[in-house]
Amino acid sequence: MPALTSTKFLRLLQTFDESELKAFDAWLRSPWCNSNKNLPRLLDRLKKYHPYFDNPRLDKENLFYQVLPKGKFSDRRLNNLLSEAFLAAEKFLIFQHVSDDYSLQKAMLAEEFQSRYLDDWFFGNTYKEIERLEAREVLDWEEHLGLYRLYRLIYHHPNQEPRMQPGASPIGKMGAHVDLLYLLEKAAIINEMMARNRLIQGEDHDAQAELKKWKAVSEGVHHPSIDLYRMRFALLAENRLSQYWALRESLVNTMEQLNEREQKLHLLSLLNDTIAFIKSGQLDITDSLPLYQLGLQTGALLHQGKLTRNTYTTIVITSNTKGTFDYTTHFIETYTKRVDEPIRDDCYQWAQAHTSYWKKDLEQCLKILQQHTFKTPYFQLVSRVLHTQAYFDLYLIDDSYQFYLFNFFEAFEKWLAREKVWSRSTRASFLRFVQICRALARYHADALTGPQKVEQLLEEEHDVQALNWLKQKKAEVVRLKSGKKPRL
């Protein structure tokens, strides 16, 4: 007998928040929405176990006798009730969606008035909704589509008189909104095609042919997002740093003129550009921090209120590298709760250790790393990188840390060889990090070796972890070595 948690109704119910659960309860109790009196009782029994429904006391037989006390237990009868509850929940979600979408309500009402030949109400309602939408400074793609549909309803109304008035025809407005809708959506698709061609092996979209058609339609059309796409496509074609900075300045200046979806698309694309320029050495990692801050401010980096692990760690690294520790502290306190709960503690402990490292409190960094057991594979990996960095810096200060550092090199390499969760390229990137660290440490230890041994150490290195940090340490080791007396 399948577990209750595997039923469609409970799976859907797990996604409800408290306010939705309360509204659904009221929905089931309304005779206009539901006629099965067993459904409110079912929900009432389940609410106490929401949202996980993992209490061992919650099983099908107990639930059956609580909701349907009369008669012998029947798995089939309970399953039928759960299926009916699921259908009721589906209808409730549709009702909620329509209730929350004012534009959708007005569009549906316009169609109803037209179908019932209530022309005065139809035209009055439709023109009022058009006026409301066009008064908005920023429209999303659904609102452009809504305006097109409203103008289309007016133009194709059975009453031909409004359509035949000279200069009063909405056909021009129809064309403008459908063009704008096409241009915005097509540009997003072309941008995604180009990104996939660049990043995913085996992808081969004919983005240039699509771009040619897009440029023809977009000629003479001016819109903040379309202007940004023009700059973006030029950047992708020529990849000049000056184009990047021009696009970045334009995005910052026009951010408030974009809807939420366009903000997110343009900002994430620009962050990808920034990362590419950082990897090529044309930008410093700290150049990305203002964009991440803008993304947090506008909410563009949050998906359903959540922050991804990669975004969280990147912001901590970037802010600490820049030395803006007050901002790092603010970020950790504000956004740690926005990452997924299973990795939240690992995120917090790693962030505190990373901040201590960049504040040069190396002993505190090691203390945090050694006292916390990282549970997720990603943080097990990056915490070892941080561990290596802390030991390396302590070794540059105090030769007595040489033993700990070289032992950790060996332990890190063995751990990488054991862990099969990582791809070959990922393991190679972190293994190369350890190898370069060891080479720099050996150079620091051997006072008789000349600087020419390390001058070419990082040349042609791109796929290596913590490349910027390695470059800094290389320069520091060479500087320290130049003033170090040979050991006798």
Longest CA pairwise span in the chain (Å)? 104
Residue 480: the pLDDT is: 86
- Degrees, nearest 5: CA angle 403-409-414: 125
Whole-model pTM above 0.85?
no
Q: Which domain holds residue 431?
A: 376-488
Task: Judge whether 392 lies within some domain.
Answer: yes
Do 106 and 91 lie in one domain? The reply is no
Q: What is the DSSP letter of 485?
A: P
Q: What are the phi and psi torsion angles at 303 (to 5°)?
A: -110, 110
Do 394 and 469 lie in one domain? The reply is yes
Number of domains in the chain: 3
Do 382 and 446 lie in one domain? The reply is yes
pLDDT digits (tens, 9 = 90+) for 184-230: 999 999 999 999 998 888 888 999 999 999 999 999 999 999 999 99
Residues 222 and 300: their CA atoms lie apart, in Å, by 23
Do 68 and 131 lie in one domain? The reply is no
What average pLDDT does the segment 66-79 reach? 89
Domain's final residue, options 120, 138, 159: 159
Q: What is the DSSP letter of 158?
A: S
Cα separations in angstroms, 56 against 6, 50, 272: 14, 13, 47
Task: Judge whether 169 lies within some domain.
Answer: no
Q: Using the predicted structure, report yes or no on whether residue 168 has a pLDDT greater than 70.
A: no
Domain's final residue, options 112, 136, 159: 159
Do 74 and 112 lie in one domain? The reply is no
What interhelical angle do 60-67 and 38-47 show, nearest 10? 130
Which amino acid does the sequence have at 155? Y
Q: How confident is the model at residue 167 (pLDDT cuts 50, 70, 90)?
A: low
Task: Judge whether 248 lies within some domain.
Answer: no
**10 Å Cβ neighbour count for 400?**
9
Do 128 and 92 lie in one domain? The reply is no
Do 59 and 141 lie in one domain? The reply is no
Do 411 and 433 lie in one domain? The reply is yes
Task: Judge whether 73 lies within some domain.
Answer: yes
- Degrees, nearest 5: CA angle 150-153-158: 160
Q: Which pair of structure tokens corresponds to residue 305? A: 């209120």
Residues 77 and 64: their CA atoms lie apart, in Å, by 9
Task: Judge whether 358 lies within some domain.
Answer: no
Q: Are 436 and 404 in contact (CB under 8 A)?
A: no
Task: Judge whether 48 lies within some domain.
Answer: yes
Residue 365: Cβ-neighbour burial (10 angstroms; 0-12, 13-18, 19+): buried
Residue 270: the pLDDT is: 96
Do 109 and 37 lie in one domain? The reply is no
pLDDT digits (tens, 9 = 90+) for 83-94: 999 999 999 999
Domain's final residue, options 58, 81, 100: 100
Do 151 and 84 lie in one domain? The reply is no
Residue 451: the pLDDT is: 65
**Average pLDDT over the chain, rounded to an integer:** 91
Burial 34-69 (b: 16+ CB within 10 A, else e): beeeebbbbbeebbebeeebeeeebebeebbeebbe
Question: If you search the block for the tokens 């429904």, which residue do you land on?
Answer: 53
Do 37 and 95 lie in one domain? The reply is yes
Residue 298: the pLDDT is: 92
Do 152 and 81 lie in one domain? The reply is no
Q: Which pair of structure tokens corresponds to residue 249? A: 């300045």
